[in-house]
Amino acid sequence: MPIHIAVGMQWGDEGKGRVVDLLSADAAIVCRYNGGDNAGHTVTVGKKTFKLHLIPSGIIHSHTIGILGGGMVINPLTLLDEMNALKLSGIELSPRRLYISPLAHLITPAHRLLDQAEDEARGKGAIGTTGRGIGPTYIDKAARRGLRAGEILEPESFRVKVKQHFKLVDRQLQSLFHKEPLDVESMTAEWVAAASKLAPYIQDATTLLHDAVRSGDTVLAEGAQGTLLDLDYGTYPFVTSSNTTATGIFSGLALGIMPVDRIIGITKAFQTRVGAGPFPTELSGELAARLRGTGANPWDEYGTTTGRPRRVGWLDMVLLRYAVMINGVNELCITKLDILSGLPEIHICTSYKLDGRECEILPMGLLPEQMNAARPVYETLPGWKENITAVRAWKDLPKSAQDYIRQLEMLSGVHVSMISVGPERDQVIRLD
């Protein structure tokens, strides 16, 4: 079956956007199945840089159809902005090319206010959410009072439900977080008017998807965030509120349980995290600043969505082995190998010392305080001096860079099919 899944192996920001862009060259349909505009995917093509938060990155290729699946939470305001920006950059975005599942839940400005107020109230225990309203929207979905995209098509009842929603959140904001009252009437009118603009795009794509799979067309599902932010299997509670792992596609796209050809795990050549939570291989000081970059380039380690500096560290094989296992990954893409150029030596965390035991794979359900107490065990490899951003073939990589990749394959048990050495579409080394 021609289903391909691209999934992040870390805490998001692995460079999925640029990898998905490359993989989409062979795909007929590109889909998002989870999360919302907490995601930020960057694709650079020639002089143009596209920033995507909701629309699948594969839409940049003119032959693809893009689907925003039912497992997603969608903020109509950011989606409309994103659509306008893409249209201005010359990307065609008619309802023929873009499908929004009627099952996707809608994020309102009230969800965002609630998200921010809740995280602020957590004080020292804050998750450091993106403040995009992701958690409160999934809460409403689970509480069966959410607003679904399909409801936009019934304007009268939609308006009534939206007003009820704003009133409820207004009461919560005032009573629990002592916030100023919302102007429910005008918020309802403005938000309903904006959300209604999406009506032509709200169309069920399930049959389209199944027909494509049956006829052998490639369907590429693009995971948002990363495995370690999965609501169930991530570093709970410092996670997002959706299933970011590969299994999320079956429920998030109504695909049924189907064989999947390729499950492509995407990992940076080092580790990053934005927001709070355990990070055993975290670095500080000069080395961290060197890996993070100054922020002058769009590919430096600053959040695409929030602009926050990312925490950085050495590649952690305990986490990578876990991510490979729970996603069923059968190939790896390594991004940002070029950033390691010039380091005299490179460390890889091969195991943790945990409670006097040596552990090579993350134990399921480890508490944050237990993970904070884990002591990483490192293997040290020689670095390389050469700038590798112009390398396009394996044989042209410095020997130490080849050894780093081979060691990574050996330690993860998965072969590497692609290495990216820069943000441009062609800055890639294919190994297959």
Query: Which residues are at the interface with ligand IMP (CB under 6 A)?
Result: 11-13, 38-40, 127-130, 132, 134-135, 224-225, 229, 238, 240-241, 274-275
Active-site residue, 232 included: no
User: Is the distance from CB of 219 to CB of 213 less than 8 angstroms?
Assistant: yes
Q: Measured between alpha carbons, how far is 309 from 64 in angstroms, rounded to an integer?
A: 33
**Helices 109-121 and 155-177: angle between axes, nearest 10 degrees:** 20
* Nearer Cβ to ligand IMP (16/347): 16
Single-letter amino acid code for the residue at 2 = P
Residues constituting the chain? 432
Report yes or no: 101 and 66 within 8 Å, Cβ to Cβ: no
Nearer to ligand IMP, 254 or 274 (CB): 274
Could you tell me which of 176, 350, 384, 364 has the C-alpha nearest to residue 280?
A: 350
Least distance (Å) between residue 128 CB and ligand IMP: 5
Please identify which residue in the block is written with the tokens 């794979």. 361
**CB 379 within 8 Å of CB 348:** yes
Backbone region of residue 128 per phi and psi (left: phi > 0; alpha: psi in -120 to 50; beta: other values): left
Minimum CB separation from ligand IMP for residue 286, in Å? 24
CB of 53 to ligand IMP, least distance (A): 9
173 vs 229 by CB, closer to ligand IMP: 229
Task: Decide if 132 contacts 305 (C-beta within 8 A).
Answer: yes
CB nearer ligand IMP, residue 127 or residue 431: 127
Question: Nearest Cα to 222, choosing from 2, 7, 1?
Answer: 7
To the nearest whole angstrom, how small is the minimum distance from the Cβ of residue 372 to ligand IMP? 15
Residue among 4, 21, 41, 165 flagged as catalytic: 41
Q: How far is the CB of 42 from ligand IMP (least distance, A)?
A: 11
**Are the CB atoms for 226 and 9 separated by under 8 Å?**
yes
Is-catalytic flag, 41? yes
Catalytic residue among 4, 13, 230, 338: 13
Catalytic residues: 13, 41
